[in-house]
Amino acid sequence: MADKILERDDIKLEDKWDVESLYPDVEAWEKDVDIMKGLLTEMESYKGTMGTSSNNLLKTLKLKDEITRVMGNIYVYAHMSLDVDTRVSKYQSIFDKANVLLVQVEEALSFIIPEILESEESLWMGYLEELDELKVYNHHLEDILRQKKHILSKREESILAQMGDVARAPENIYSMLNNADIKFPNIINEHGEEVELSQGNFIPFMENTNRDVRIRAFTEFYKTYNSFKNTFAATLSGELKKNLFMAKLRNYNSTLEASISNNNVPVSVYENLLNSIHHNLSGMYKYMETRKRVLQLEELHMYDIYTPIVKDADFKIPYDEGVEMIKKALAPLGEEYLKGMNEGFDNRWIDKFENRGKRSGAYSTGSYDSKPFILLNYHDTLDNVFTIAHEMGHSLHTYFTKKNQPMVYADYSIFVAEVASTVNELLLLSYMIENTEDKTKRAYLMNHYLESFRTTVFRQAMFAEFELIINKHLQEGGALTADYLCGEYRKLNELYYGKGVVIDPEIDIEWARIPHFYYNYYVFQYATGFSAAVSLVKRIKEDGVEAVEKYLKFLGSGSSDYPINVLKEAGLDMTSTTPVDDAMKVFRELVEEFDKIV
């Protein structure tokens, strides 16, 4: 972990993602913006024509695909350019421009679904039989017709589309505050040196084996967030009020139903997850007891739950070493998968290291025409190696989807999005455990597996429950004040970690630093995805080629079918409690085994 955070210009070219492969410069980007305006004018002329002939339906849907493709390029380039240095006004400007254009695109396309819903299903099915080129849109039209009672009139849909930029304001304000404007103080590290605290190095500080360093980082980090708590509460309240408004307008019973029904996922899947977790919290309590015992602490605090229990296994893994480890670990996925992965590592898909002004965290992004890019803020920790594997899982999911699907199905549901990333993490973990003879390091890796469960299943389920609670509170007429949010967040920490952990008051504000609360019920899919991945990895390791073929087919399915069906084809029924219950069984067994060896 570098003590000094570099400026963007100090980062080597080979360590930056190849955004120039999408557009060489802003001037080229502007040309596509102009092209887009022409496409939107052309789309205007198609209004009212789709129901008149199969040819007009085809022309409209193909133009919609082209507009979506070009808009994807425009938006991805703008947000990628901004995210690597959120302080640069030029990139703030083009990102704002991209958002304005996106609203115009949404408005221009807003007539399509209402027009389809104005006519009987038999008309569109007849057109599909009449024109072979239309058959590719069969599932697309089926999905539109499924949502008929939630689609408004053409005028209402147009008005909502025009409100798109306004609707994104809470998230955009939060992003600028959380990434560009918020400043953290310097702290003293374990060597007595003054170093800068940042979004990128906070978790490495929490993993530090020196407890005084952890306490200083924890206290100062959340003190900074607490000084902005009312602003963070206002932005989150604005986001959730917008979601509630949209849910009511579209005749949904709740914001949860509105969010997950888009992917035809029943609300019971969300509820089953939380119920299953509640019934299995004893495993988490046992794990916290083990952590407290091994760390030899009178009290286990929130700043003690990230530091490795097995202190002597201090992994320091440079980026290149981590990449080679990942390549070996993912070999069971076969040559086709490895070929795509090597293309990513060798052709600048990845923006590797932290610099001043860079967006925190990590993600995979891209358009239909671009590389499936990855943003990292890499530090030489084991956790960051797993982050590479995780994000490469997303990018390879995108890679195979684009390879196998037309534009209309070139994206995949967020419900399945975390499956591929977690499969990679679990394969890496399994490889490391199997190839580590050192007992201390093996115990360390088992601890990491337990931490994967804690952070990806339990922690994300806690986030999901927090979302559900505060959305229900808002729907019932309650106010989302900072004190209310902090209070509810504290109660959940007490529930999920149990009486064996001191819930420090600083953690009450942690919700303010979680960007996923602006993603509208996204986080529960980390937990369901992890559970699905546990089953898939078991099959890949036991069944070999047959399981890999099914898995690659899953990766290439995109949105050509509903996510529940796509996973059923891979052998998983996510409408049952079985995947989560099975994952919890693995966790309990792992806790018991780990408790005996440490």
Q: Which residues are catalytic?
A: 391
Parallel, antiparallel, or unpaired: how do β-strands 194-196 and 186-188 relate?
A: antiparallel
**Separation of alpha carbons 387 and 393, rounded Å:** 10
How far does the chain reach from its first CA to its final CA, in angstroms?
A: 28
CA 520 to the chain's CA centroid: 11
Beta strand pairing call for 363-365 and 373-375: antiparallel
Torsion of CA 497, 503, 507, 511, to 10 degrees: 40
How far is the C-alpha of 125 from the C-alpha of 140, rounded, in Å? 12
C-alpha 430/C-alpha 446 separation (Å) is: 9
User: b/e per residue, 276-311, with b = 16+ CB within 10 A?
Assistant: bbeebbebbbbbbbbbbebbeeeebbbbbbbbbbbe
CA–chain centroid gap for 561, Å, is 21
Q: What is the rounded distance in angstroms from the CA atom of residue 14 to the CA atom of residue 323?
A: 15
Report which residue type is found at 151.
I
CB within 8 Å of 181: residues ≥ 6 apart: none
Contact between residue 313 and residue 443 where contact means Cβ atoms under 8 Å apart: yes
What DSSP string runs through 222-235?
HHHHHTTHHHHHHH
In the structure, how many helices (H) and strands (E) does the chain have?
Answer: 26, 7
For residue 501, the SS3 value is strand
CA gap 111, 108 in Å, rounded? 7
Question: Do the beta carbons of residue 416 and residue 392 sit within 8 Å?
Answer: no
SS3 label, residue 289: helix
Helix (H, G, I), strand (E, B) or coil at 355: strand
Q: Are 116 and 144 in contact (CB under 8 A)?
A: yes
**In the beta sheet, which residues pair with residue 364?**
374
Q: Strand, coil or helix: what is 373?
A: strand
Helix (H) or strand (E) holding 79: helix 54-83
Residue whose pair of structure tokens reads 């913006």 in the numeric block? 33
CA–CA distances in Å: residue 270 to residues 50, 438, 556, 580: 37, 40, 25, 11
Of 366, 362, 384, whose CA–CA distance to 375 is shortest?
Answer: 362
Pairing between β-strand 350-351 and β-strand 373-375 as defined by DSSP bridges? parallel
Using DSSP's 3-state secondary structure scheme, residue 186 falls into strand
